[in-house]
Amino acid sequence: MNKEKKEKMKIIVCIKQVPNTTEIKINPATGTMIRDGVVSIMNPDDKGGLEMALRLKDKYNAHITVITMGPPQAEAILREAYALGADRAILLTDRKFAGADTLATSNALAGALRCLDYDLIIAGRQAIDGDTAQVGPQMAEHLGLPQVSYVADLQYNQNNLLTIKKETEEGHQLLEVEMPCVLTVLATANRARYMTVSGIMTAFDKEVEMWNADKIDVDEEKLGLKGSPTRVKKSFTKGRKGAGELFEVEAEEAVGIIISKLKEKFII
Amino acid sequence: MDFSLTNREKLFLQMIKDFADNEVKPLAAEIDEEERFPVETVEQMGKIGLMGIPVPVQYGGQGGTNQLYSMAVEELSRVCGTTGVIVSAHTSLCVAPILENGNEEQKMKYLPKLCSGEWLGAFGLTEPNAGTDAAMQQTFAVDAGDKWVLNGSKIFITNAGYAHIYIVMAMTDKSMGTRGISAFIVEEGTPGFSVGKQEKKLGIRGSATCELIFENCEIPKENLLGAIGKGFGIAMKTLDGGRIGIAAQALGIAQGAMDETIKYTKERKQFGKPISAFQNTQFQMADLETKVQAARLLVRSAAYKKDENLPYSVDAAMCKLFASEVAMEVTTKAVQFHGGYGYTREYPVERMMRDAKITEIYEGTSEVQRMVIAAKIFK
Ligand SMILES: Cc1cc2nc3c(=O)[nH]c(=O)nc-3n(C[C@H](O)[C@H](O)[C@H](O)COP(=O)(O)OP(=O)(O)OC[C@H]3O[C@@H](n4cnc5c(N)ncnc54)[C@H](O)[C@@H]3O)c2cc1C
Ligand SMILES: Cc1cc2nc3c(=O)[nH]c(=O)nc-3n(C[C@H](O)[C@H](O)[C@H](O)COP(=O)(O)OP(=O)(O)OC[C@H]3O[C@@H](n4cnc5c(N)ncnc54)[C@H](O)[C@@H]3O)c2cc1C
């Protein structure tokens, strides 16, 4: 870290509680998710982001704040984050946040972030339930910060600079970005550590700060249902693809089979 | 009594299940096949804090409970009986007697490194001629002024060869009978102390089970654990705690076999339907599920009493007796439900059946548990 900077590097990680299944059921009447009876977990990409922050903490003694917006039960993932090594936890919870789309969510989070000190903001790339990958980039826009999405690796350099490996469809890019900035991280970026037993023992003795809409710096019109321009027109469960056909043959024979199959379906 | 899990226990279970499924399960068949002690797992477990769960933080422990410790042994054993007993023997038979009987210097010297997993622990009571009749100790310790000199041998010692610290029972005054037995802390590498041959076993084949040999083994005076002549009592009390660990191991093995059998019988089809659809399967599995849950409640209740400093030796005997016999029954039937496939090493149930058997034997055979329970009812 920059020696002239007296304070520790401050990292904020945005984490979301999600149902532990990729097969979300939608209530056909309301078009919203049915969350009852599903086990909730910390979103995998967010766990990757938290691990990235924890590695910076191991190396540079950074201070980590985790923040989530959600119902009171979302406290569970904040306790988990404490057991993994986070230093401070904030739960944004208020009826006024309810019914938020991605814009209202990112506005609420940005409102909270404005009240906090940070050098680095880390979000997951994408939540496995909402799946939009919009919240991180939107937060960066609200806060006027540089952002890098799809982060697979990172290195801290002097003078507040980060060298970042960003995944792309073709391969990866190496980028340099100045802090403060927003990163959205992939679950595959690293192997998340296990909670320690002593971490679990002390996680419930620590304070989870409860913040409501009055506590954050944002126009109330931008929150919850009121602040959500998205209207769900229709939602449906995607039909499952049938099981494929399996041929265990030599390469040459395989080519013949593929060609005839493609012709059969008028693809070629 | 409250049967619901605390938030801590829930979070702990989330971690330990994850660890067992992702780190321990993938190695289970391999270490059994190769009879290989999983050093890498022990190192990982040390880092997470699984090697000193019920030890206060001031001694380098995790400040956890015996309840959490028994849950850890259960979950590890659900996927690998070997890994379960490594933790159980280390924690219950080495860490616990030092914590419960050691003086401040001994606790500060040994517990932090044992709890971090840097050192592994073992316990030597059994001898070729002193099995169930453990009072027949033939290992002697002679007071040589500024040191103790040990001679004799131990057999079937879990973690031997990989352990750094051994709690060893030896006779200090034969004329006193059980009151002439004392407990000692022996460190690896002490001159005159060596580890003998490793046993080839039916089950828990990745765990090390060896002979300990003492030939004029000189140990410092301060390595006496507890008072002189109190060794037999220390050993018996240590085994009381250990039985909760072994019961948890048995319970885990039983649960693992249940999980495998439920999955298999739903997939395997005969006579045009999954074998889980036969009423025989359903009724037998319903009985087994009930027994496993009963075993779990006995384990939880014994661990609860230990945590609350209530008398628990009879509870420990009952949970070990019941859980080990349930493990044997469940695993034997699991192989039966798997048919010929279950008899092969392609499926884990034959390993579970082999692993289950030891839980009826070590830390007091089932007969010994019945003696303990009977002694209470007919006292
Ligand atoms: C059309 C629409 C309507 C919706 N309506 C409702 C509704 O009525 N009620 C309802 O409960 N939900 C509703 N949602 C879900 C809600 O908008 C999303 O949960 C939220 O906006 C996050 O979006 P996402 O899941 O796509 O996250 P992504 O943008 O995929 O998440 C990226 C990252 O942003 C961060 N992040 C996202 N959400 C949070 C959070 N809450 N706290 C902290 N960090 C976070 C995480 O780091 C995450 O990895 C709706 C979503 C959509 C798209
Ligand atoms: C894999 C393994 C690991 C072990 N680990 C350890 C360890 O770490 N430390 C340690 O000190 N020991 C250890 N042991 C030893 C174990 O505790 C003993 O094997 C056990 O106590 C039985 O003693 P024994 O083998 O001499 O059997 P015996 O005492 O010879 O018993 C043989 C049979 O006779 C029965 N029997 C004996 N006496 C009576 C009686 N009075 N009434 C009715 N039935 C009776 C027994 O129940 C048993 O069925 C281990 C053993 C094994 C196999």
Backbone φ, ψ for residue A141 (5° rounding): -65, -45
Ligand 2 atom 17, closest CA: B362
B318 contacts B302 by C-beta, under 8 angstroms: yes
Q: Measured in angstroms, how far is the CA atom of residue A172 from the centroid of ligand 1?
A: 27
Q: For position A24, what pLDDT does the model report?
A: 63
How many CB atoms are located within 10 Å of the residue A245 CB? 7
**Token couple for A43:** 């979103």
Closest CA to B264 of B342, B354, B326: B342
Starting from the CA of residue B124, give the closest ligand. Answer: 2
Q: List, as one string, the DSSP characters of chain A.
A: --TT--SPPEEEEE--EEES-S---B-TTT-SB--TT--EEE-HHHHHHHHHHHHHHHHH--EEEEEEES-GGGHHHHHHHHHHT-SEEEEE--GGGTT--HHHHHHHHHHHHTTS--SEEEEES--TTT----HHHHHHHHHT--EEEEEEEEEE-STTEEEEEEE-SSSEEEEEEESSEEEEE-GGGS-PPPPPHHHHHHHTTSPEEEE-GGGSSS-GGGSTTTT---------PPPPPPPPP-----HHHHHHHHHHHHHHTT--
Work out the minimum CA distance from A80 to partner chain B, whole angstroms.
7
DSSP for B306-328, please give it: HHTT---HHHHHHHHHHHHHHHH
pLDDT given at position A28: 72
Q: What residues of chain B lie within 8 A of the CB of A203, using their CB? A: 8, 11
- Contacts of the segment B4-12: beta carbons below 8 A, 24+ positions apart: B7/A79, B7/A204, B8/A200, B8/A201, B8/A203, B8/A204, B8/B68, B9/B67, B9/B68, B9/B71, B11/A76, B11/A79, B11/A80, B11/A83, B11/A195, B11/A200, B11/A203, B12/A197, B12/A200, B12/B64, B12/B68, B12/B71, B12/B72
Residue B363 annotated to the active site: yes
Each residue's pLDDT tens digit, B326-372 = 999 999 999 999 999 999 999 999 999 999 999 999 999 999 999 99
Interface mutation vs chain A, best among B6, B8, B51, B67, most A CBs within 10 Å? B8
**B37, B214 Cβ separation under 8 angstroms:** no
Question: Closest residue of B to A82, CA-based?
Answer: B11
* Residue nearest ligand 1's atom 2 by CA: A101
Q: With contacts defined as CB-CB under 8 Å, which chain B residues touch A202?
A: 63
The three-class DSSP label of residue B236 is helix
Ordered per-residue pLDDT tens for chain A, 268 residues: 444 455 789 999 999 999 987 656 777 777 677 767 778 999 999 999 999 999 999 999 999 999 999 999 999 999 999 999 999 999 999 999 999 999 999 999 999 999 999 999 999 999 998 889 999 999 999 999 999 999 999 999 978 999 999 999 999 999 999 999 999 999 999 999 999 999 999 999 999 999 999 999 999 999 999 999 998 887 777 776 777 888 889 999 999 999 999 998 888 8
Name the minimum distance, in Å, from the CA of B345 to any CA of chain A.
Answer: 26
CA dist., res. B189 & res. B60, Å (int):
24
Whether B8 and A195 lie within 8 Å, measured CB to CB: no
Please name the residues between 66 and 85 in chain A that touch chain B, using a CB distance below 8 Å: 76, 79-80, 83
Q: Which helix (H) or strand (E) holds B142?
A: strand B140-143
Show the low-confidence residues of chain B (pLDDT under 70).
Answer: 1
Pairing assessment for the beta strands B147-158 and B209-220 based on DSSP bridges: antiparallel
Residue A16 alpha carbon to ligand 2 centre in Å: 53
The span from the CA of B310 to the CA of A263, in Å, is 77
Distance, in Å, from the CA atom of B83 to the CA atom of B89, rounded to the nearest integer, reads 10
- Supply the pTM of this predicted model: 0.91
CA B326/CA B254 separation, integer angstroms: 7
Element (H, E) at B89: helix B81-90
Instruction: Give the β-pairing of A120-124 and A10-14.
Output: parallel
B235 φ, ψ to 5°?
-65, -45
Written as six digits, the tokens of B301 are 């209740």
**Ligand 2 atom showing the smallest separation from residue B93 Cα:** 8
Q: Which single residue is written with the structure tokens 């001694």?
A: B59
ipTM score assigned to the predicted complex: 0.93
Residue A42, pLDDT score: 97
Q: What is the mean pLDDT of chain B?
A: 97
Q: Which residues contact B37 (CB under 8 A, 6 or more apart)?
A: B31, B86, B161, B162, B206, B207, B208
Among partner residues A76, A194, A203, which is closest to B19 by beta-carbon distance? A194
Ligand 1 pocket, mutate which of A11, A16, A126 (most atoms under 8 A from CB): A16
Q: Quick one: pLDDT at residue A6?
A: 55
Of A83, A194, A197, the CB nearest to B53: A197
Q: Residue B116 has what pLDDT?
A: 97
Question: pLDDT by residue (tens digit) across B192-251?
Answer: 999 999 999 999 999 999 999 999 999 999 999 999 999 999 999 999 999 999 999 999
